[in-house]
Amino acid sequence: MTTIDPKDAPSPDAHLSHGLRPRHLTMMGLGSAIGAGLFLGSGQAIGTAGPAVLVSYAIAGAIVVLVMRMLAEMASSMPASGSFSVYAEAALGRWAGFLLGWLYWFMLIMVLGVEVTGVAGIVSGWWPAVPQWAVAAVVVAVLGGINLVGVRQFGEAEFWFALIKVAAIVGFLVVGVLMIVGVVPVTGSVLGHWAEHGGFAPAGIGGVAAGLLAVAFAFGGIEIVAIAAAEARDPRDAVARATRTILWRILFFYVGSVAVIVSLVAWDDTDALVSPFVSVLQLGGFGWAARLMEVVVALALLSAFNANVYGTSRMLFSLGQRDDAPSATTRVSRREVPWVAVLVSVFFGVVAVGLNWLLPDSLLSILLNAVGSALFVVWLLVTVSQLRLRPRLEAEAARTGEPMRVRMWGYPWLSWVTLAALVALAGLMVSDDAARTQLLATAGLVVVILVVYVLTRRVRTPRDAR
């Protein structure tokens, strides 16, 4: 199998703007992983494992930190809007780049539909007279427009979205700690009474494992930093600076928030865990907490939609550059925005919204299951790509005299440990009925994409002699 040499891999995309600043990338990385999955999904994970879900989050967070370190190593050496798709092609061959590019694009398109539907539902709850389709149309038009105006405007919008989410988490942590130490009086909490609810690990090791499955992909979204780095002023330095701190901060936000929740709310209180952040604040007498958290969740969904339009459009642009998507997707506006790729992503995002509203639940669940564990495939191939590329990146650094900006810790042993952890996670998914369904659906999607790759290669003149 022939692969791309790092020195021949796509350089930072010359046709795109380089208007993103380090503060944009830093807040983008923080904000992308803090979404409805934390504000709402953490309750399901707590109900699965009890307070021991903290161990689940710690394990999942450690895996993500290691995978992102490997991605940052490659991104700082070969920044490209196609990110891990480009690196997989360089390490493993054309098929791997095609697979990861289209798998990631399809995953985010489906997520776009879920996010818009979620925002529309929340806003319609505030103003029942406003139809959900109208809310969805406004969201798509405004955020799609921001992505078309320019990358600087996208970066600013995402900066402020992320800042609000981070401020909400920090505020929650401060209030939560004050409640735990007794400064803010609480009523009805389980503080100091874990034993009455089964102790720290009421479901044992099996509960921790089940909790790990529930939180495994909660940190998804951080990879947007590696995609956006290609449009930073100094791509190689920007991704290095952005990834050095945000990973640990995100892990702190997740574990800290969940620690506050399990300290105050009973893990078997299913009603309270529907919206755990609201439940904690209500214990402290903050009656307005429910509406506040609805606003925060709506902003989190808007932020995720904004970032995912960006991510899908840049991935599609990169696929077009590599002749794996129609050449029209590489057209760039005078503001150096891949406008065709943005419009295509927005269009299919609208289609995904329609699927959420029109299709029977069974068919929609099949599509969502197909992307449910897509991040697992991304992480797995990122790890394999780093193991393959690291010697070549070091050789290239020695040849040019420019040292690598980011290096994976403990290479190669820690890279192999990460790969083993991902394989173990796959085994855990196979043993769980719900996770197995997602894994099998994702495997089916992978097969479909690879079949499309083979067919397109047969009916089209290859890009080069490979």
The reported pLDDT for the residue numbered 461 is 57
Query: If pLDDT is split at 50, 70 and 90, which confidence band does 465 have?
Result: very low
The Cα–Cα gap between 9 and 14 comes to: 13
The Cα–Cα gap between 415 and 389 comes to: 12
| Domain-wise residue ranges, the chain | 6-459
Residue 463 has pLDDT above 60, yes or no: no
The Cα–Cα gap between 6 and 78 comes to: 7
The reported pLDDT for the residue numbered 354 is 80
Residue 6 has pLDDT above 50, yes or no: no
Residue 374 has pLDDT above 50, yes or no: yes
Q: Convert the pLDDT of each residue in 303-335 to its tens digit.
A: 888 888 999 999 999 999 999 999 999 999 888
Query: If pLDDT is split at 50, 70 and 90, which confidence band does 162 have?
Result: confident
Query: If pLDDT is split at 50, 70 and 90, which confidence band does 336 have?
Result: confident
The Cα–Cα gap between 118 and 302 comes to: 9
Query: If pLDDT is split at 50, 70 and 90, which confidence band does 218 have?
Result: confident
The Cα–Cα gap between 79 and 230 comes to: 5
CATH for 6-459, among 1.20.1740.10, 3.90.1150.10, 3.10.350.10, 3.40.50.1000?
A: 1.20.1740.10
Query: If pLDDT is split at 50, 70 and 90, which confidence band does 192 have?
Result: low
Residue 277 has pLDDT above 50, yes or no: yes
What mean pLDDT, rounded, does the chain reach? Answer: 84
The reported pLDDT for the residue numbered 92 is 95
- In this predicted structure, which of 213-227, 236-250, 358-372 has the lowest mean pLDDT? 358-372
Residue 360 has pLDDT above 70, yes or no: no
Query: If pLDDT is split at 50, 70 and 90, which confidence band does 1 have?
Result: very low
Residues 6+ apart with CB under 8 A from 341: 312, 313, 314, 316, 317, 320, 329, 330
Give the whole-number percent of the chain exceeding pLDDT 90: 26
The reported pLDDT for the residue numbered 173 is 92
Query: If pLDDT is split at 50, 70 and 90, which confidence band does 96 have?
Result: very high
Tokens at residue 132, please?
A: 């959900």
pTM of the model: 0.88
Give the whole-number percent of the chain exceeding pLDDT 70: 92
Query: If pLDDT is split at 50, 70 and 90, which confidence band does 367 have?
Result: low
Residue 86 has pLDDT above 90, yes or no: yes
Q: Amino acid identity, residue 214? A: A
**Residue 447: its H or E element:** helix 433-459
Q: How far is residue 118 from each of residues 213, 287, 296, 297, 420, measured CA to CA in Å?
A: 23, 23, 12, 9, 36
The Cα–Cα gap between 164 and 158 comes to: 10
Residue 5 has pLDDT above 60, yes or no: no
